[in-house]
Structure 1
Amino acid sequence: MVGRDLSLPSIVKAILGSERSWQAMVSICEDVMSRKETAERSGEIKATGLDEAVTPEQIAAAVAGTGGCTVSDLRAGEPRLSRSDMFSTWVRCPLTAVKRIAVSNWISAKVEDGNDV
């Protein structure tokens, strides 16, 4: 237990003080690295030309179907009205899905690669 002293030496001492503390720190580090690796393997696409009634869930389902991934792999934002009076949104998804969608002839919306893939 660190207590109120959150200085680096105090935290390191607490981590090294017991096997339980060490294992907790290992678990935290593994979780952080896993999240970082997942973020590095994902990209963004921009779906444009959307109907104003479309939901993020519907967008995610369409992207998952075309991209060959699951809806749980995606995060679709709320569609927003753009300057061209069309609705669009960004979707974060696995890089493999970004690549599949970029080369597909998906006609329900244009897809722009948000990364340099």
Structure 2
Amino acid sequence: MSENEMRINRFGFGESGDMDDLARTVEPTELAMVLKSIVRLVLAEETGLLETLTDEAQADFVVPLGMAGKMLSGSDYSVKELVAAACTVRYCAEPHIPGFPSELSRLVSQLPR
């Protein structure tokens, strides 16, 4: 696959050819922990954070975050699939970061682009 080609992986995230290079630069355990922390922070009912997000942030960010949470609930994902999920979550969250609570902003900023 060339750098410009995009394919959708089995979890529904887009993977481009340059993701192989990016996957070699991340620490998978650490990246999974950050992504799981974001999932818990936003989607856990007890935090109440989801209701504080704007409608636009919920529409843009919560669906890919839920998809990432589902992927992370198993252990059969590759590093490339993990990177694709993390990049998608960050991409969808970035326009809304100024309105996010500081902890969520900090965690999202740790995800790869």
Pick the structure with greater CA Rg: 1
TM-score (norm 1): 0.30
Q: Which of the two has greater helix per residue?
A: 2
TM-score (norm 2): 0.30
